[in-house]
Amino acid sequence: HNPLDCVWLDYFTDIQPTIKEGFNGNRYEAMADVARDIKTLKKELDVPIVTLAQLVRGARDRRPFKTDIAESAVTERIADGIILIDRPIEGKDTQKRGYKWGKTNKEAKLSDLFGNVALVIDKNRYGPTSTPIFGFDQEYMKFTEEIPPPMISSEDIPVEFN
């Protein structure tokens, strides 16, 4: 029985690679080695490994994408899944995000996200991608239950004439 349920690694891009024979100082190759070593460790321990990474500065005021991850080319290629956290702040963020509310496919307004958080599942090797919206308790830094979409108004229902 494995005593570990999960392993968390902070600042993926700060992990120093083991210098191997023939290393030419290429940053991409170094980070690819780190990513492969993490994937090997995941298989050996038989537990999920979650690595945290910093986003580039341009992602602050808009919906984040997997290409916003520092060293994203390596991450995109090797990761089994990529989840980005988007938490628009009222009075600061003004750009629309383009999120949809599940099966209704109704666009989420930016104001629907204030005080909440969108988990952007931008890569999922074993399933679909999506963007569920959760409550966020800032005082305790805790995610709460998924937020249901706002009620659909009569303006959203198409009218058919016979």
Q: What is the pLDDT of residue 7?
A: 92
What is the DSSP code string of the chain?
A: --S-S-EEES-GGGPPPPP-TT----HHHHHHHHHHHHHHHHHHHTS-EEE--PBPGGGTTS---GGGBTTHHHHHHH-SEEEEEE---TTT--S----EEGGGTEEPPHHHHTTEEEEEEEEETTS--B--EEEEETTTTEEEEEPPPPPPPGGGSPP---
Q: Name the average pLDDT for the chain.
A: 77
**CA-to-CA distance for 77 and 55, rounded, in angstroms?**
17
Per-residue pLDDT tens digits for 81-111: 999 888 877 767 666 777 766 666 667 777 7
pLDDT at 158 over 60: no
Per-residue pLDDT tens digits for 24-63: 667 777 788 888 888 899 999 999 999 888 888 777 777 8
